[in-house]
């Protein structure tokens, strides 16, 4: 009986050691991925400052002041794909990256709204929670048998949370831009865009997806998306721009603007 007991205890210790190793591996994966992204961005992008692209630097400072958040570093990266993103790594200054194609596509006011959207992620610590969620999802895969199912469920809930987070950051952009009108990302066409017609398009989408079949198709269309559909973002920001909460925030901001002008 004694050899058998010792063998069982040794197996148990080995299992616990494997579990600890798996946990450490999960955390190391997250840390390594962050470091790769950090080094890639600072190695391939241009750091904006008061002496380097000062106009963009000022846009970031103004947006950060309005949202009462510490200004992050701002990088401009050469890329034909219009995009902007934020990265916050533990122990390092967070930074925002904007692609050159997006800068060329937008007016300065629109670009500042994009910066404000990214600042919204920092204001709400979205990067921190996203990191935790990703680690949790990776950790679920090591659970024997049901790990894949659990991970898939976590990932589905994560993408739903990501879509909600994007709507929150749209509100941050509105607080800075103070203009709920949407543009198509083309300054030369902005005066011709009909916001009311686009919102009517959003209402048509809601109506089409209200039936059981429409709901199923809509859910299948959006469940894997990290960002809400454009028409839904337009509807949400339009509704919030007319809300009591938004008007209250704008009234609080007015005295601050008066003080700054004085």
Look at residue 231 in the predicted model and tell me its pLDDT.
Answer: 86
Closest CA to 25 of 141, 152, 129: 141
Closest CA to 73 of 259, 83, 53: 53
Number of domains into which the chain is organized: 1
Per residue in 156-176, pLDDT (tens digit) is 777 888 889 999 999 999 999
Active site members: 118
pTM comes to 0.74
Domain range for 224: 2-261
- The percentage of the chain sitting over the pLDDT mark of 70, rounded to a whole number, equals 69
Closest CA to 73 of 58, 59, 94, 90: 94
Per residue in 187-231, pLDDT (tens digit) is 555 667 787 888 888 889 889 888 988 888 888 878 778 788 888
Cα–Cα distance, 156 to 135 (Å, whole number): 14
Assess contact for 227 and 162: CB atoms under 8 A: yes
User: Residue 214 to residues 153, 203, 209, 229: CA-CA distances in angstroms?
Assistant: 23, 14, 4, 15
């Amino acid at each position: 009986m004694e050899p058998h007991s010792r063998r069982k205890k040794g197996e148990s210790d080995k299992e616990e050691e494997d579990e600890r190793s798996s946990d450490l591996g999960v955390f190391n994966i997250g840390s390594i991925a962050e470091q790769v992204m950090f080094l890639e961005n600072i190695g391939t992008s241009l750091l904006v400052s008061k002496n380097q692209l000062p106009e963009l630097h000022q846009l970031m400072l103004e947006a950060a002041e309005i949202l009462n958040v510490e200004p992050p570093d701002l990088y401009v990266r050469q890329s034909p794909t219009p995009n902007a993103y934020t990265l916050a790594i533990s122990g390092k200054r967070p930074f925002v990256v904007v692609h050159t194609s997006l800068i060329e596509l937008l007016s300065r006011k629109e670009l500042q709204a994009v910066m404000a959207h990214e600042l919204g992620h920092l204001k709400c610590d979205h990067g921190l929670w996203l990191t935790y969620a990703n680690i949790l999802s990776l950790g679920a895969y090591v659970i024997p048998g049901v790990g894949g199912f659990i991970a898939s469920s976590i990932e589905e809930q994560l993408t739903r949370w990501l879509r909600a987070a994007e709507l929150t950051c749209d509100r941050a952009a509105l607080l800075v831009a103070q203009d709920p009108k949407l543009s198509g990302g083309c300054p030369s066409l902005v005066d011709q865009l009909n916001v009311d017609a686009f919102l009517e398009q959003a209402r048509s989408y809601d109506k089409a997806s209200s039936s059981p079949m429409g709901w199923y198709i809509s859910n299948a269309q959006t469940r894997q998306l990290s960002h809400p559909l454009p028409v839904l973002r337009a509807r949400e920001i339009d509704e919030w721009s007319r809300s009591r909460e938004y008007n209250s925030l704008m009234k609080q901001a007015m005295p601050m603007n008066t003080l700054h002008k004085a």
